[in-house]
Chain A
Amino acid sequence: MDTLLFYVAFAFYAAGLFLSIATVVTRKDSFFRIAIISHGIGFVCHSVFLVVLGIERQHFPIMSLRESLYFFAWTVSLCFQISYWRYRFRALGLFSLPLVTILMLGTAFLKSYPAPPEILRSSWIYLHTTCLILAYGMFFITFMSSALYLFQQWQIKSRKPRILLERLPALLTMDEAFQNFLIAGFSFMTVGLLAGVLWAEKEWTQGWYQDPKVISTFVTWLIYLALLYLRLSAGWRGKRAALMSLAGFLSVLFTFIGARLFFEGLHSF
């Protein structure tokens, strides 16, 4: 049941991806409308898949790297759908859809973990990982918005607006998306981090803060704190904001994947 749902979701995501590429190639808007619907159906299947998986495994499916990738892909899909329906931010599809499809594809190559030890089964971990992964999905959108803002700004500045310009939302709309996803992502990250810290204080041995993943997560949080502060107080946008959110997102990627590859630590993923 769950594997079937996974394949269906994957198929719809892939269809959405190809249709959105077709939109760019053929410049026909009708393709994009089907793409967004296809992606929407994929998203629903994906959600049902996560629920079914959770019931089957008796825990919220966010305990292994594989499960967290499922959830991360789901988060990116969710953010893309929100940004489309809220801001008509179609160009994001060009970046989110491949990411979602690759993430889904990637999970197939990961070995499945045995049931997690009893100690990890705590509501803290659900709060901790769910919030952080939601935040990371939002930071992806934040980064893409700021990059596209920069691109659109460059296009208008060049004074030779081309076709793509028509397909990007207005500068201020992208700026709004950037800010809102940044605020939401930062809030989730803060809650996720707090949950992790409190949980570690209660359950874990001394020295949890020396874990490489914990350290890099804090660095990430500080980068986003700085970005948010500069955005709200000094009005950072355009080039500086794009560079900073690139730094933030690279830090997210390192935290999510790199820290685990290069160092041994408390986190299994």
Chain B
Amino acid sequence: MASSEQSPDSWKKLLLVGISHKSAPVEIREKVSFPELELHQATRVLRTQYALPESLILSTCNRVEVLAHSEDHRQASYSICDFLHRHHALQDSFLEKFLYNLRGDQVIRHVFRVASSLDSLVVGEAQILGQLKKAYSRARDLGRLGTGLEKLVPQAFFVAKRVRRETLIGKASVSVSSVSVKLAERIFGQLEGKSVLLIGAGQMAEQAAVNLVRAGISKVTIVNRSRDAARSLAHRFRGEAAGFEEMDRCLTESDVVLVSTGADGYVLLKAHLEKAIRRRKYQPLFVIDIAVPRNVDPTVHEIENVFLFDIDDLESVVESNLEGRRQSALQAEEIIEEEVQKFVRARAADKVGPLIYALRRRFEETCLRDFEYHARQLDDREREMLQMHLRQAAHRLAHPLIIEIKRAACGHHPENLDMIRRLFKLEEEE
């Protein structure tokens, strides 16, 4: 009989509760995002207090998702909801209308799409894969993955690579950073002689800064709480590092401001920018806030000649640039669908693996019965040859049955499984 570990259709126990840029605005997302440092602790809480046997938390600027594997969907998704509310000290059911709740093959499809960057704010950007890998290895270090997730996530990496290889989705990537460059050019025209100020040394900001420099921006200034991090970045861009106390001066001198600190609240307030814009004689100032939670007071946008774009605003610009990539996206969706089916089939095959193994052994044993007696007059080479032929014959005989077993595992005449077991008197082992 089927083992308890490989119980029927283990993929059906997958579930995912999450919130993303598609389901919630940044004001909500920033309330549920997990700072890097809290993730270990949060994962531990999920295990100890919520009794979730397997779980993985993915928290990026654009999404917070908890992936789990559980017998009882209802209970598990309720637990995850409760956990998100409690951890972030939110009112009960505050997140209700923003959370999505996926199970079974929906989870597989979703995880594949996320890994392949089809669900990203910026479709085709590659950062998400790295973030998912990090989340995966963190969960694994904590021993949070059982066979359910252990198979799904690495397969998602494989699918992402395949999508990247077989479609143009990554090539034409309209990333947040290239959108920033485009907007900067809308405002400033030539970027030569313009300068950028980085507040905080986040990875996204760094990437955007690289693109801006490539587009012609000539001066980079970095303000960071840790002077050392600022200095090492400044060194990379041949720029200048400054402390928070010099912020006012830096704002006056820069044209583009990229903000992505890990801070919980607003780092740039309206008063800061009002002062800066007066000192700049109302020269336009382009402020990009890629931090979640946001670091720039949204009312800053009301100041004349200050243009503030947060991560959601960039999305709307990205949307208008997507047309050319619809085709690639369709292709990618097809690949995803194919891979989802493959994954489901492979999991089904996992389940009947022991049965197939038992069947093969039964056929081999039958063919090789009395082999020693018949082969006693043959020399070593001939014995080897004969044995090989008999084994092959056994495999060929078993082959149509194995196909039938795999089909049955996927739901085509599942009663055949028992019939085969009965006919050949098979006993599966673990």
**Cross-chain contact A235 with B282 (CB below 8 angstroms):** yes
Q: A159-B313, A159-B316, A159-B317 are in contact. Are A171 and B187 (CB under 8 A)?
A: yes
The answer, yes or no, to whether B280 is at the interface (CB within 8 Å) is yes
**Cross-chain contact A157 with B301 (CB below 8 angstroms):** yes
* Cα A169 to Cα B188 with chains together (Å): 9
* Cα A101 to Cα B288 with chains together (Å): 44
* Cα A255 to Cα B283 with chains together (Å): 33
Residue of A nearest to B277 (CB): A235
Chain B's interface size range is: 20 to 34
Out of B183, B189, B282, name the residue touching A156 (CB < 8 Å). B183
The answer, yes or no, to whether B236 is at the interface (CB within 8 Å) is no
**Cross-chain contact B313 with A172 (CB below 8 angstroms):** no
Distance from A168 Cβ to chain B, minimum over Cβ atoms (Å):
8
The answer, yes or no, to whether A198 is at the interface (CB within 8 Å) is no
Contacts of A161 in B (CB 8 A): 183, 186, 317, 320
**Cross-chain contact B305 with A153 (CB below 8 angstroms):** yes
Contacts of A171 in B (CB 8 A): 186-189, 284
**Cross-chain contact B317 with A238 (CB below 8 angstroms):** no
* Cα A159 to Cα B284 with chains together (Å): 15
For A146-169 the 0/1 string (1 means CB < 8 A from B) is: 000000110011011110010001
Contacts of B282 in A (CB 8 A): 234-238
The answer, yes or no, to whether B343 is at the interface (CB within 8 Å) is no
* Cα A171 to Cα B187 with chains together (Å): 5
**Cross-chain contact A237 with B183 (CB below 8 angstroms):** no
For B37-62 the 0/1 string (1 means CB < 8 A from A) is: 00000000000000000000000000
For B172-201 the 0/1 string (1 means CB < 8 A from A) is: 000000000001011111100000000000
For B232-264 the 0/1 string (1 means CB < 8 A from A) is: 000000000000000000000000000000000
Distance from A171 Cβ to chain B, minimum over Cβ atoms (Å):
5
**Cross-chain contact B186 with A165 (CB below 8 angstroms):** yes
Q: A170-B186, A172-B189 are in contact. Are A160 and B316 (CB under 8 A)?
A: yes
Contacts of B187 in A (CB 8 A): 156, 170-172
For B316-347 the 0/1 string (1 means CB < 8 A from A) is: 11001000000000000000000000000000
Residue of B nearest to A166 (CB): B186
The answer, yes or no, to whether B307 is at the interface (CB within 8 Å) is yes
The answer, yes or no, to whether B97 is at the interface (CB within 8 Å) is no
* Cα A171 to Cα B301 with chains together (Å): 16
* Cα A173 to Cα B313 with chains together (Å): 24
Contacts of B317 in A (CB 8 A): 159-161
The answer, yes or no, to whether A239 is at the interface (CB within 8 Å) is yes
Out of B185, B283, B307, B313, name the residue touching A235 (CB < 8 Å). B283
The answer, yes or no, to whether B136 is at the interface (CB within 8 Å) is no
The answer, yes or no, to whether B304 is at the interface (CB within 8 Å) is yes
Residue of A nearest to B188 (CB): A172
**Cross-chain contact A173 with B189 (CB below 8 angstroms):** yes
Residue of B nearest to A237 (CB): B282
The answer, yes or no, to whether B381 is at the interface (CB within 8 Å) is no
Contacts of A238 in B (CB 8 A): 282, 304-305
Residue of A nearest to B302 (CB): A157
Which 4 pairs from chain A and chain B are nearest by CB?
A235-B281, A170-B189, A235-B282, A173-B189
Given A170-B187, A171-B187, A238-B304, output 16 extra A-B contacts at Cβ < 8 Å.
Answer: A153-B304, A156-B187, A159-B316, A160-B316, A161-B320, A165-B186, A170-B188, A170-B189, A171-B186, A171-B188, A172-B188, A234-B282, A237-B282, A237-B305, A238-B282, A238-B305
